Amino acid sequence: QVQLVESGGGLVQAGGSLRLSCATSTYSFSISIMGWYRQAPGKQRELVATISSLGSSTNYADSVKGRFTISRDNAKNTVYLQMNSLKPEDTAVYYCNLRPPSSSRSDYWGKGTQVTVSS
């Protein structure tokens, strides 16, 4: 069973920074697209950032461009989300996502970690 475990969430003031981590133990990590999603109260879950299997390509939501950076360490089976210049609207539960290389398999999700940004 694939397990994704997020960590690094917490309470931070506007303008501050947090780094989220997502660790897993699966052979498919290094060949899988990884992503971070978030869901704020009363809103749909939205894609925050994705990173290709080797880390050569990244994609960000417009709302976080220039502030967030996604990265991965395939040797550690870990993906990171560095969040700088945090805003209250970044408050959400952040979820780690793993997309297997086979399109016939469903994505895997972590349980989420709460990020709260106060003004």
Bridge partner list, 36: 49, 96
Task: Work out whether strand 92-99 and strand 113-118 pair parallel, antiparallel, or are unpaired.
Answer: antiparallel
Instruction: Round to whole Å and give the CA distance between 28 and 8.
Output: 23
Number of neighbouring beta carbons within 10 Å of residue 92: 22
Alpha-helical regions (H) of the chain = none
Closest to 9 measured CA to CA, from 98, 109, 110: 110
- On the question of pLDDT at 93 being above 80, the answer is yes
pLDDT of residue 66: 98
Q: 37: pLDDT confidence band, cut at 50, 70 and 90?
A: very high
